């Protein structure tokens, strides 16, 4: 395959159908389709959520959705179309999100994945995430999940103030 001309940008309204279809086929297969275009548009409109797409020229080949809380961020969805996998697309999306998280002062990123999702486990491990918890029945009571997390920085210590004695003369 020819080399990729990869760019990452914020998703726009017309990306919602493509993102939802990727979620249905690559993330939610066999579970029922929750992230339909209307749900994706809600996420795109949510001020605490960032939805980005990776494009090869004009074609959307991957996407990611992350919600920022006060301290922690939740990586809600991420996928790359099969013919573009193992070519660094998800790494580039994650790099974009990590940079945003650092600027936002986020202490940790967490996410969930299906227990048999070996590619995603490999991807997140390769990016410094580790398994934090098993989640029995997490996927609509039918399938277990794994929670993974990556710490970005330790919580800021409580500031201490030292009174310094003024020395005149
Ligand atoms: C998980 C996923 C997003 C990775 O996307 P990607 O663009 O292929 O990932 P990258 O090319 O950036 O991979 C970077 C590194 O992650 C690791 N990795 C990626 N895919 C892997 C796999 N199938 N098995 C083991 N390690 C893998 C490797 O270390 C890889 O580096 P390398 O290719 O030099 O060995 C992709 O496989 C995907 O879309 N899967 C279906 C949807 C999904 O499961 N999403 C995550 C849960 S929401």
CA of 119 to the centre of ligand 1 (A): 5
Phi first, then psi, for residue 79 (nearest 5°) are -155, 155
Q: Show the DSSP H helices in 15-166 as ranges.
A: 16-22, 37-45, 89-104, 118-126
Residue 58: C-alpha distances to residues 6, 8, 53, 62, 77 (Å):
10, 11, 11, 12, 21
pTM listed for this prediction: 0.92
Site of tokens 């919602």: 16
Atom of ligand 1 nearest to the CA of 111: 48
Delimit the domains of the chain by residue range: 6-151
Ligand 1 pocket residues where CB is under 6 Å: 26-27, 77-80, 85-91, 113, 117, 119-120, 122-123, 126
CB-based contacts of 2-7 (< 8 A; 24+ apart in sequence): 4/56, 4/61, 4/84, 4/87, 4/88, 4/89, 5/56, 5/57, 6/54, 6/55, 6/56, 6/61, 6/88, 6/89, 6/92, 7/54, 7/55
Nearest-5° Cα angle at 12, 28 to 8: 80
- 6-151: CATH topology is Aminopeptidase (3.40.630)
Contact 25, 63 (CB under 8 A): no
**The pLDDT value given to residue 138:** 95
**The pLDDT value given to residue 23:** 98
**The pLDDT value given to residue 160:** 60
CA of 159 to the centre of ligand 1 (A): 40
Average pLDDT per run of 10 along the chain, which is 169 residues long? Answer: 90 98 97 96 97 97 97 97 98 97 95 96 98 95 95 72 58
**The pLDDT value given to residue 168:** 58
Pocket test for ligand 1, best of 51, 62, 85 (most atoms within 8 A of CB): 85
Two structure tokens written together for 69 = 């809380």
CA of 134 to the centre of ligand 1 (A): 21
**The pLDDT value given to residue 9:** 98
Per-residue DSSP letter, 97: H
Task: Mention every residue, 6+ apart, whose C-beta is less than 8 A from residue 87.
Answer: 4
């Amino acid at each position: 395959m020819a080399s990729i001309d990869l760019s990452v940008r914020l998703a726009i309204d017309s990306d919602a159908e493509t993102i939802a279809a990727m979620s249905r086929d690559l993330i939610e297969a066999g579970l029922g389709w929750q992230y339909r275009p209307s749900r994706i548009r809600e996420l795109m409109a949510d001020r605490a959520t960032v939805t980005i797409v990776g494009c090869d020229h004009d074609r959307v080949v991957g996407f990611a959705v992350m919600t920022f809380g006060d301290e922690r961020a939740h990586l809600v969805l991420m996928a790359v179309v099969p013919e573009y996998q193992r070519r660094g697309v998800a790494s580039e999306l994650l790099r974009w999100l990590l940079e945003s998280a650092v600027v936002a002062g986020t202490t940790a990123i967490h996410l969930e994945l299906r227990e048999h999702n070996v590619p995603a486990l490999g991807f997140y491990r390769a990016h410094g995430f580790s398994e934090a918890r098993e989640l029995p029945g997490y996927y609509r009571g039918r399938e277990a999940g794994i929670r993974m997390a990556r710490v970005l920085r330790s919580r800021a210590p409580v500031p201490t103030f030292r009174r310094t004695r003024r020395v005149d003369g």
